[in-house]
Amino acid sequence: MLNRRSLGAALAALTAAPALAQTAASLPAGSIRIVVPYNPGGITDILARAVAQPMGTALGQTVVVENRAGANGSIGANLVARATPDGLTLLLGVTDTHAVNPAAMQNLPYNANTDFAPISNITNVPLALAVGPSQRSITDLRGFIAAAKARPGALTHSSWGVGSVSQIAMLRLAEVAGIELLHVPYTGAAPAAQALAAGQVDSMVLPAGAAEALARDGVVRVLATLAPQRLSLLPQIPTLQESGVALTVSIFQALFAPARTPAPVVAKLNAALRTALQSPMMQDVLRAQAALADPQTPEQLAALVVAEQAAWGRVVRAGNIRLD
């Protein structure tokens, strides 16, 4: 009996060993790449590069950032959707890729709900309205609205692409304020902000951190934030709501893997991201963007995406915004 029991225990251990080894080594060896579906220099790129190093340290693997811009983020998102689901290719997805595009693109090459395995949200980035040196006489939101009403369609605004949150937020602002602006789309947040700073366009809705940095240098003037309350980064700047415009807008920044990525891999990536968000470097970057870390479970991120799709879908349909 002792021999049989010993033999049975040995066989059980041998049977369990592969499963245990697979769980322990749930993430394959090699470099992990985070695909940013926009050009370098924008908020999504900044966050990806900030989180890559501490996340790599937590995983014991190298994490690199790869920019694949185009089509309002859909090119980079589709690349990850079609990647091998082993945890080595990830997407830093945003409101545009997962909430706006599904409503605005009839021929979207990926399904935002079924082609990705949600890992965790990273943060929600507040936005701000700013004017550039071409409109130095405008000092507040009231003046901006008055100038736009005096010359319908003459004031320009840049964005990081047709159908982007930047454009749609300005469209919503224009609708609520009863003004008309001329849209000038760019291929990313960085070139759009550079155009604002150079006086090539008059205004822009952009991440609050970028707006604050440009205002600090005396290049642009921030008129209002689109946050629900004043930001510690811009304490003197009123919200749109304070200025009489009932509108709040922010963009989520989250990490996704391809669908069918094994649950142990997703769990390991989620834990590493949570650790990375606590790093001093990541906290400094978030503080500079007037944002807070917002780690979530995969289920919570999936629910966030569904809620954002409903909210932005209504806006896209109301504005008849089409990207294809």
Task: With a cut of 90, say whether residue 323 has pLDDT above it.
Answer: no
pLDDT at 90: 98
Same domain, 114 and 257: yes
Please name the residue that has the structure tokens 């049975």.
8
Residue-by-residue DSSP string for 56-123: HHHHTS-EEEEE---GGGHHHHHHHHTS-SSSSEEEEEEHIIIIIHHHH-TT-SS-TTTSEEEEEEEE
CATH of the domain at 289: 3.40.190.150
Same domain, 136 and 198: yes
- Residue 54 counted as domain residue: yes
Among the candidates 225, 260, 283, a domain finishes at 225
What is the maximal distance between C-alpha atoms in the chain? 96
- Residue 11 counted as domain residue: no
CATH of the domain at 149: 3.40.190.10
Same domain, 79 and 143: no
Same domain, 130 and 221: yes
- 233-262, pLDDT tens digit by residue? 999 999 999 988 888 999 999 999 999 999
- Residue 22 counted as domain residue: no
> How many domains is the chain partitioned into structurally?
2
pLDDT at 13: 44
Domain that holds residue 200: 126-225
Average pLDDT over residues 71-76: 96
Q: What is the pTM of this model?
A: 0.89
- C-alpha span between 285 and 209 (Å, rounded): 9
* Tokens (6 digits) for 280: 């001093």
- 188-200, pLDDT tens digit by residue? 999 999 999 999 9
Q: Residue 116 in contact with residue 81, Cβ under 8 Å?
A: yes
- 145-185, pLDDT tens digit by residue? 999 999 999 999 999 999 999 999 999 999 999 999 999 99
pLDDT at 2: 39
Same domain, 220 and 298: no
Average pLDDT of the chain is: 92
Please name the residue that has the structure tokens 């008129």.
223
Least reliable range by pLDDT among 11-15, 174-178, 227-231:
11-15
